[in-house]
Amino acid sequence: MKYKLLSLNVGRPEVYQTDKGELESAYRKRPVSETTHLSYLNFEGDEQADKKNHGGRDKAVCLYPAQHYRHWESHYQVPFSFPAFGENMTVEGIDERDVHIGDIFQLGEALLQISEPRKPCYIIARTHGIDDFPARVMEKGYTGFYLRVLKEGAVTPGDLMTLVEQHPCKVTVGEVNDVRYHDRDNQERLKRILEVDALADGLKESFNKRLK
């Protein structure tokens, strides 16, 4: 499978005004048009304000599917432009229900592996002034996801993201979202997810605590 990188986005922490006061965040990223180096921790020019909950090897890159924008524009009757979800990569056609934790992709010179779903937080609500936005994202399952970098390299907007290896456990990002937010105490599903060696360490710890 091949998916097109429509927008490559980076940003550094800044303080900006919201309807509930000041917010310091790197959520408001900007698209770049030039080839950009992707390291094991981030794209060149990209940083995190909250390093406790963002960044690190398991969250080096945040991806959001481009087609989800059409759903949110219809739902809220407002326009959203890339990268309204604070993502590093806006990718057309890829979907949480079709890709798996541990799947490996080639993108430009880099090699990436899906590590965990993105967990929407209050920043999306504060940035857009829509209080129920995080809850609706979790309910719909349109969360996007994180990838770790297996091989560093140059990436250019318009590059194709090509699946090179599907993880044998075949646990979709969507299934992890469902257990995370809805089917929380399903022990069999928790065990199945925890069998995926590529699952991010932080989420492994959280799911292990749910096992009886």
In tens, the pLDDT along 80-119 reads 999 999 999 999 999 999 999 999 999 999 999 999 999 9
Q: Where are the domains of the chain?
A: 2-166
54 band by pLDDT with thresholds 50, 70 and 90: low
Q: What is the 3-state secondary structure (H, E, C) of 51-114?
A: CCCCCCHHHCEEEEECCHHHHHHHHHCCCCCCCCCCCCEEEECCCCCCCECCCEEEECCEEEEE
- Does domain 2-166 fall under CATH 2.40.33.20? My reply is yes
Query: Could you read off the pLDDT of 173-197 as tens digits, one per residue?
Result: 999 999 999 999 999 999 999 999 9
- 3-state SS class at 24: strand
